[in-house]
Chain A
Amino acid sequence: MRIRTAGVTAAFALTLLASACGGNDDTSTDASAKDSAQAGGTLTIWADDKRTAALKPFAEKFGKENGITVEVQAVSKDLQSNFVTASQSGKAPDIVVGAHDWIGNLVQNGAIDPVQLSSTQKSSLADIALKGVTYNGQIYGVPYAIENLALIRNTDLAPTAPATIEDLVSSGKKLKASGKTSEIMSLQVGENGDAYHIYPLYTSAGGSLFGVKDNGDYDAKDLGVAKTEATAAFEKIAKLGEKGEGALKRSITGDNAIATFTSKKAAYLVSGPWALTDIKAAGIKYEVTPVPGFAGGKAAQPFIGVQAFYVASKGTNKVAAQEFVTNYVTQVDLAKALYTAEPRPPALTKALEEVSATDADAKAFMEAGKNGAILPAIPEMSAIWDPFGKAEAAVIGGADPATAIPAAAKAISDAINK
């Protein structure tokens, strides 16, 4: 009985096994048939949520014109690291949309290819945008938008734009004393600092992050944080901190900075174009002006970020990807649609002009970024954020810059030279 049962089971299993094989053959022919349809077939784009929505209609149009399917997939979290992992395991999309400071890391992982732009296309883009996507002398992505910090001011509370940070603080203090606001200004710091948002004040006070090589690239060997100017700059920032004027506070974080402004607790906000959606929704009258520097100091330089489309090295449909990125992203309509989805000023000069005709903000942000410094795309930059931010938070909380900044500089150079 037992043997017979076993025999019957095995026989059945073998039959099914054979049919499973057959089934598998079917699917593999299916797959190859699909491949040929698909190879004509699918162009996959990864972007974050907001941009996915804006891209979809254009992607579909591109697909229809060219007889291929275009899939725009939203990756809402950790797009960069997901993309690197996917391309390592051979499941990469064909195109990815992201910030230009990813380039260093994407290149060292062999995840993206350089793109070739014609001279007409290059000249249609803002210089600073092209500079952002250029890494080791190669253009690695096609920029579509530029972003930088600016001072956003509630014009009901503060009618005139401050010329210096000192003006801003005295005006903010008056507003606070009269009970109209509860904070002098809203510049996000958080418990662990925020290098990106403090950078304009840091540069105005004389600090720098990296030196610049002859070819215009940042030089990781020449660390600005390790210099005495960095400590001196933080001495000035400390005066605005919790033990000084109280304009910079660790309790203002990335999560509540914009809300502090929209709820009229502060008349001044240092933020980027991404804050405008909330501010408009709150119905606040505002004006966008450059971030002011210290009186008698250097120019306050915000970081300039560039949003770009990249062609994945390990995508399956590279030709279509190159076509989309070089000849489609450089069209004005797409740039305008992306601006409507999220108001970052377009990198295409013509699109910027058209957008500015109806919307003053784009131009104002470009103006605010005129003195800006391109956010370093070198991989070493990732070693800066954490120690630099923590030193900033410590100084704003009242610690002595002379201990905090050299300690941060050491942590940074240790991480870079590891």
Chain B
Amino acid sequence: MSKRDSGAVETRPPRPEAASTHHRRSTSSRKSPRSSVGSTIVADSSTTTLGLIVKILALSMVTAVAIWAAFPLIDAKAWGWLAGEAVIVASVFFVYLRRPLPMKYLLPGTLFLLAFQVAPVIYTVSTAFTNFGDGHRGTKQEAITSIQTGSVKQVEGSTEYTLAVATRDSGELVFLLTDPDGQAFVGDADGLRKLGGATVDGGRVTAASGYTLLKLGQLSARNQEIGDLKVPTDNGAIIASGVTQAFEAKATRHYDPACDCVIDVETGTQWVADAETGSFVDASGERLPQGWKVNVGFDNLVSVATDPHISGPFVRTLIWNLGFALASTLGTFAIGLLCALAMHSDRVRGQKIYRALLILPYAMPSFAMLLVWRDMFNADFGLINRMLSLHVDWFGGPWTARAAAIAVQLWLGFPYMFLVSTGALQAIPKEMTEASQVDGATVWQAFRQVTLPLLLVALSPLLISSFSFNFNNFNAIYLTTEGAPFPADNTSVGATDLLITYTYRLAFGGAGAEYGFAAAVSIYIFTIVAVISAISFRRTRHQEEVYS
């Protein structure tokens, strides 16, 4: 996938059209006079009437949103979150009314950082310490409810009733039931009694004195009541299924708090709650499918480190992963820079057309493009083999598959590098290269000794973020090779698998999604990327000191 999907890169290159028309100028590096006028207006706005109105409206909006958000929090009794919200609103009011100036600029950024960076990270880390995943999503109570409702079975050989739901004059809900012989009954929480004087039509009670029949539209308002109404019988209870049928049924499993277990009344089997795994387990170790979320401590993190499926092929995958990220980043940078240098020359005609063409891959949805490229690499039907009369099984061999994966990345990623390099090139004063040429440097020397170092000062941070993005470039692999080819003796890790695609399969390819495990894996991957980025940024700082 190309750079544009990376949240990490916020920097936008200067608009290429504007840049292409003026070659000999360095205005972009100078502060334009208009911007200072603009900032004066902003600074003064708080004292003007308009500014005041804007401020009042903005603060009111904040308050309104806060109140709107508070009700669900109160409903959910989430007092911690509510307190957090109060603190945020109070600090917004404090900062914008008492105005310690720097805080006005810092506060929105800080809040967004908290909301969109810190909160997800905390959530991910906290998930890593749980068994959250399929079968372990909710609370224990939810699991028990689900087990009990899932065990409601029709009593064998019992009567199937036709149902009409009605109310008594008191408003109390009752079931008017008809058995297959046409005998009418009335059922409520006290039990089932014969109903005299009812009109039965088509097997269903259509009128009865003292009762008002309800239609589905009216019934839905009392949805819960209908679900809760159970007419007790000797073998169980009559429950409604929809509003036209009723059955004698009973729950075959129930939870007993005394033994903290689920008991099957038919077989007598007991499943005892296991608080460590969050599931009900019987004597033979069989689990009930419905479990609940529990804290598992460091289990997930430890199992990532000790799982032979992960630790075995880890180093090999990591090396390819680094190679893929490096090749993608440097390759796209080299091609992009080359194109940018070519377009930077005054002698190129039709620059606008070239630029538009070069940016095309960037303008197309990369999801679709990845799939198109995958089909183009198809060994028998793909465009590439047909056009070049080759018989290469691209995704069949490890090295051809890797080459194909990188080739697709180069195509998708170079326009971004072209754009940023164009921007950075135009910020370098022409005088510098001219001066070096006067001193007798060749074009290559001028590029190598003057232009490139200056470019790298501006572009290194982008290259680093591009690297860390490509390191985790899930789509690039998942939508093309899906990690293929896989060695015959190991179906868990393929030749083009990145750490992220590989662990994605581990976390979601087994018996259901395991978010806890996936979160633990992402902590490890985050650590690797963070270390590499930190080292690179330190090196960049040295570079800046040397060249600026």
Residues of A within 8 A of B (CB): 1, 5-6, 8-10, 12-13, 16-17, 20-21, 23-24, 28, 36, 39-41, 43, 66-68, 81, 84, 88, 104-105, 107-110, 113-119, 136-138, 191-192, 249-253, 255-256, 260, 313, 316-320, 322-327, 379-380, 382-383, 385-387, 390-391, 393-395, 397, 399-400, 403-404, 407-408, 411, 414-416, 418
Nearest CB in chain B: distance from A316 CB, A: 7
- Contact at A407–B490, with CB atoms within 8 Å? yes
CA distance A395 to B375 in the complex (A): 22
- Contact at A191–B484, with CB atoms within 8 Å? yes
Picked from A36, A105, A399, the residue with its CB within 8 Å of the CB of B512 is: A105
CA distance A120 to B63 in the complex (A): 59
Nearest CB in chain B: distance from A182 CB, A: 8
Can you name the residue of chain A whose Cβ is closest to the Cβ of B63? A17
Nearest CB in chain A: distance from B517 CB, A: 9
Interface SS of chain B: mixed
- Contact at A110–B488, with CB atoms within 8 Å? no
CA distance A231 to B271 in the complex (A): 37
- Contact at A67–B216, with CB atoms within 8 Å? yes
Q: Quick one: which of A110, A136, A325, A379 has the most chain B CB within 10 A?
A: A110
- Contact at A323–B243, with CB atoms within 8 Å? yes
CA distance A320 to B97 in the complex (A): 53
Q: What 13 new A-B contacts, CB under 8 Å, besides A108-B134, A110-B150, A399-B488?
A: A17-B63, A39-B222, A88-B137, A105-B134, A109-B137, A109-B290, A110-B137, A116-B239, A191-B484, A253-B378, A322-B241, A383-B510, A415-B509
Closest A-B pairs by Cβ, 5 of them: A67-B217, A110-B146, A323-B242, A399-B488, A16-B60
Residues of B within 8 A of A (CB): 46-47, 52, 55-56, 59-60, 63-64, 67-68, 71, 93, 97-98, 134-135, 137-138, 142-143, 145-146, 149-154, 160, 215-223, 226-227, 239-245, 247, 249, 289-291, 309, 371, 375, 378-382, 393, 395-396, 481-492, 494, 505, 509-513
CA distance A314 to B484 in the complex (A): 40
Interface SS of chain A: helix
A380 contacts across to B, CB distance below 8 A:
511
Can you name the residue of chain A whose Cβ is closest to the Cβ of B46? A5
CA distance A388 to B451 in the complex (A): 54
- Contact at B216–A251, with CB atoms within 8 Å? no
- Contact at A13–B218, with CB atoms within 8 Å? no
- Contact at A107–B220, with CB atoms within 8 Å? no
- Contact at B59–A13, with CB atoms within 8 Å? yes
Can you name the residue of chain B whose Cβ is closest to the Cβ of A121? B245
B221 contacts across to A, CB distance below 8 A:
36, 39-40
Nearest CB in chain A: distance from B478 CB, A: 11
CA distance A403 to B245 in the complex (A): 56
Nearest CB in chain B: distance from A16 CB, A: 4
- Contact at B134–A319, with CB atoms within 8 Å? no
Picked from A116, A319, A394, the residue with its CB within 8 Å of the CB of B154 is: A116
- Contact at A386–B491, with CB atoms within 8 Å? yes
11 pairs from A and B in contact (CB 8 Å cutoff) = A24-B68, A39-B223, A40-B218, A84-B137, A107-B146, A192-B482, A192-B486, A317-B223, A323-B243, A394-B488, A404-B489
Picked from B223, B244, B290, B488, the residue with its CB within 8 Å of the CB of A404 is: B488
- Contact at A251–B380, with CB atoms within 8 Å? yes
Nearest CB in chain B: distance from A326 CB, A: 5
A319 contacts across to B, CB distance below 8 A:
216, 219-220, 223, 226-227, 240, 242-243
CA distance A21 to B65 in the complex (A): 11
CA distance A105 to B512 in the complex (A): 7
CA distance A408 to B491 in the complex (A): 6
B160 contacts across to A, CB distance below 8 A:
118-119
Picked from A68, A108, A115, A119, the residue with its CB within 8 Å of the CB of B290 is: A108
A395 contacts across to B, CB distance below 8 A:
488
A320 contacts across to B, CB distance below 8 A:
216, 219-220, 223, 242-243
Q: A5-B52, A109-B135, A110-B145 are in contact. Are A191 and B485 (CB under 8 A)?
A: yes
- Contact at A390–B486, with CB atoms within 8 Å? yes
CA distance A169 to B390 in the complex (A): 26
B485 contacts across to A, CB distance below 8 A:
191, 394, 397
CA distance A383 to B492 in the complex (A): 12
Nearest CB in chain B: distance from A70 CB, A: 11
- Contact at A407–B491, with CB atoms within 8 Å? yes
- Contact at A313–B149, with CB atoms within 8 Å? yes
Nearest CB in chain B: distance from A309 CB, A: 12
Nearest CB in chain B: distance from A355 CB, A: 26
Can you name the residue of chain B whose Cβ is closest to the Cβ of A36? B221
Picked from B150, B249, B511, the residue with its CB within 8 Å of the CB of A113 is: B150
Nearest CB in chain A: distance from B255 CB, A: 14
- Contact at A138–B511, with CB atoms within 8 Å? no
Nearest CB in chain A: distance from B140 CB, A: 11
- Contact at A114–B511, with CB atoms within 8 Å? no
Q: Quick one: which of A9, A16, A113, A260 has the most chain B CB within 10 A?
A: A9
Nearest CB in chain B: distance from A238 CB, A: 11
Nearest CB in chain B: distance from A99 CB, A: 16
- Contact at A386–B505, with CB atoms within 8 Å? yes
- Contact at B216–A416, with CB atoms within 8 Å? no
B97 contacts across to A, CB distance below 8 A:
6, 9-10
- Contact at B489–A68, with CB atoms within 8 Å? no
Can you name the residue of chain B whose Cβ is closest to the Cβ of A385? B509
Nearest CB in chain A: distance from B491 CB, A: 4
Q: A116-B245, A319-B243, A326-B241 are in contact. Are A416 and B510 (CB under 8 A)?
A: yes
Can you name the residue of chain A whose Cβ is closest to the Cβ of B245? A118
- Contact at A250–B379, with CB atoms within 8 Å? yes
Can you name the residue of chain A whose Cβ is closest to the Cβ of B382? A251
- Contact at B491–A411, with CB atoms within 8 Å? yes
CA distance A178 to B221 in the complex (A): 70
CA distance A379 to B136 in the complex (A): 13
- Contact at A20–B60, with CB atoms within 8 Å? yes
- Contact at A110–B245, with CB atoms within 8 Å? no
CA distance A192 to B516 in the complex (A): 27
Q: A66-B215, A138-B150 are in contact. Are A407 and B245 (CB under 8 A)?
A: no
A110 contacts across to B, CB distance below 8 A:
137-138, 142-143, 145-146, 150, 290
Nearest CB in chain B: distance from A123 CB, A: 12
- Contact at A66–B71, with CB atoms within 8 Å? no
Nearest CB in chain B: distance from A384 CB, A: 10
- Contact at B150–A114, with CB atoms within 8 Å? yes
CA distance A40 to B215 in the complex (A): 9
CA distance A43 to B491 in the complex (A): 44
Nearest CB in chain B: distance from A382 CB, A: 6
B509 contacts across to A, CB distance below 8 A:
382-383, 385-386, 415
Q: Quick one: which of A12, A109, A115 has the most chain B CB within 10 A?
A: A109
Nearest CB in chain B: distance from A331 CB, A: 13
CA distance A243 to B432 in the complex (A): 63
Q: A40-B218, A104-B289 are in contact. Are A313 and B247 (CB under 8 A)?
A: no
B486 contacts across to A, CB distance below 8 A:
192, 390, 393-394
Q: A9-B55, A9-B56, A67-B215 are in contact. Are A379 and B134 (CB under 8 A)?
A: yes
